[in-house]
Chain A
Amino acid sequence: MSYATKSPWVIHYDASSCNGCDIEVLAALCPGFDVERFGIINTGNPKHADIFLVTGSVNERNISVVKQIYDQMVEPKVVVACGTCACSGGIFHDCYNVLGGVDQAIPVDVYAPGCAVRPEAIIDGVVQALGILDEKSKALKASKRGA
């Protein structure tokens, strides 16, 4: 196990969510679920974050923002799409300005569906993401050693 899995810091971005999923993301940080037990902190700064939680679908206006946040994050990093909108576009999928799920903009590692996504589902998604983060972290270490 790499240390990346013991201190996953998250950044949360509301793409074009109806705010339902955002409230659930924040609920996971509240005393009821207290994800800080696992070292999870909501950083609000892409340069400090390891896990990118996106809620809501991607549209013409925010695709550049989603991409930029992703690019600013330092490797190793993973993306969790929180909620049906983030997974596929959900209820907004045929809006004139909606491009679809977050995977239209950046590579998504874990899909956590639900409308709104339940905090348990977010935590499950993050736990799955930790496995991927671990692999990426090891790959990065190996490539550093090789270089």
Chain B
Amino acid sequence: MSFVYILIGTVAFAIVAPIVGCLLAGLDRIISARMQGRVGPPLLQPYYDVRKLMEKDDVTVSGVDGVYMTCALVFTAFAGGIFFSGGNLLMSAFIITMASLFFIMAAYSSRSPYAELGAGRETLQVMSYEPMVLLMAVCFYMAAGSFNVADAFLLDKPVITIIWPAFLGFLFILTIKLRKSPFDIAMSHHAHQELVKGTTTEMSGKTLAKVEVMHWCETVLFLGWTGMFFLWMNPVSFVIAVVVALAAWFFEIWVDNNFARVKWQAMLKSAWLVALVAGGFNIIFLMFV
């Protein structure tokens, strides 16, 4: 039965998440522009960008990067489906990592030095955030008694009350997951880094459009994870979760606009330190209560 839910969830996520993600991306660009004293593009600009990319000619260096990106998109939808149908949080986390790995493969497949370096750094990003993601899932399990997200609705108080350190740790790595500024070392949305476009250097047209759409879906999924901490029995908690997720997202944009890019060493060390302190101590604390 749960498999049917996941399938329905995946299809629903594949339809709704790109729409929501696209609007969020458009808002992101407007808010960023306002923070910089500019007017910014129209709200639907990300949609126009993707439509334009689909109209471009088909050019590819390796011939397989498009296939890898399709796989990445499918796994992203699957991860979102598992999460939003109330399924296993740990599974969702693993499958979204799978999508990242396909994205990395797509970058490696071009053999271009910029893309390879970008792919290497994307791998480092995965290495940086993965410990905290796993510890977050473990903390959720210990607090809710189950890995199933749907079980959060059975709790009489939200998990945030006892795993707030894990939440703070998750907020830290959310910046890496969303590829935002201090940690956008593999691919920047802005063309002023030494790797130019890093992972996506050799991608164009439809393949690049897939990267954009994957990014929209990822944003929705990760904001879903953020909101999950605030769910409990009360139906009002759903509204609170959405508000908190949007607040976290606004915070990420603010961080993106205010901090300069760090080196990968700083990213890896700080992310692991945060995972150890926030996640580790949270687990130890939970073991004794």
Taking Cβ atoms with an 8 Å cutoff, the residues of A that contact B are 2-4, 6-7, 9, 31, 34, 36-39, 41-45, 47-48, 50, 74-76, 137, 140-141
Interface residues of B (CB under 8 A from A): 29, 33, 36-42, 45, 48-49, 51-52, 54-57, 59, 191-192, 196-197, 200-205, 208
Known A39-B41, A39-B42, A74-B59; further 15 A-B contacts with Cβ < 8 A: A3-B55, A4-B52, A6-B48, A7-B48, A36-B29, A36-B38, A37-B38, A39-B45, A39-B49, A43-B191, A45-B201, A48-B208, A74-B205, A76-B57, A141-B55
* Docked pose: A66 CA to B150 CA in angstroms: 57
Contact B57 A3 (CB under 8 A): no
Minimum CB distance partner of B44 in chain A:
A6
CA of A45 to CA of B193 in the docked complex: distance in angstroms? Answer: 11
A31 to B36, CA, bound (A): 8
6 smallest CB-CB distances across A and B, nearest first, come from A44-B191, A3-B51, A6-B48, A75-B57, A3-B52, A47-B204
Scoring A4, A47, A48, A74 by chain B CB atoms within 10 A of each residue's CB, the highest score goes to: A47
User: B17 to nearest A CB, angstroms?
Assistant: 21
Known pairs A48-B208, A74-B57, A76-B56; A7 contacts B196 (CB<8 A): no
Q: Which of A31, A47, A140 contacts B59 (CB 8 A)?
A: A47
> Which chain A residue has the least Cβ–Cβ distance from B37?
A31
Q: B39 touching A34 by the CB < 8 A rule?
A: yes
Q: Which residues of B contact A4 (CB under 8 A)?
A: 52, 55
> In the complex, what's the smallest C-beta–C-beta distance from A144 to chain B, in angstroms?
8
Nearest B residue (CB) for A33: B38
Residues from chain B with Cβ under 8 Å of A38 in the complex: 41
Chain B residues near A50 (CB-CB < 8 A): 52
Query: In the complex, what distance in Å separates the CA atom of A48 from the CA atom of B56?
Result: 10
Are A45 and B33 in touch, CB under 8 angstroms? Answer: no
CB distance from B209 to the nearest CB of A (A): 11
A36 — which chain B residues lie within 8 A by C-beta?
Answer: 29, 33, 38, 40-41
Chain B's nearest CB lies how many Å from the CB of A83? 21
CB-defined contacts of A7 to chain B, threshold 8 Å:
45, 48-49, 51-52
In the complex, A76→B45 CA distance in Å? Answer: 19
- Shortest B260–chain A CB gap in Å is 18
Q: Per a CB cutoff under 8 Å, which of A39, A74, A141 touches B48?
A: A39
The residue in chain A whose Cβ has the minimal distance to the Cβ of B51 is A3
- Evaluate contact between A37 and B40: CB separation under 8 angstroms: yes
CB distance from B66 to the nearest CB of A (A): 13
A43 to B201, CA, bound (A): 10
By a CB distance below 8 angstroms, the chain A residues around B192 are 44
B198 to chain A, nearest CB (A): 10
Residue among B40, B42, B52, B196 with most chain A CB within 10 A: B52
- On whether the beta carbons of B40 and A3 are closer than 8 Å, the reply is no
Q: Within 8 Å CB of A3, what residues of B?
A: 48, 51-52, 54-55
Cα distance A75–B233 in the bound complex, in angstroms: 55
Complex Cα gap A29–B224 (Å): 34
Residue of B nearest to A30 (CB): B38
A137 to B59, CA, bound (A): 15
Residues of B within 8 A of A43 (CB): 191, 197
A140 CB → nearest B CB, Å:
6
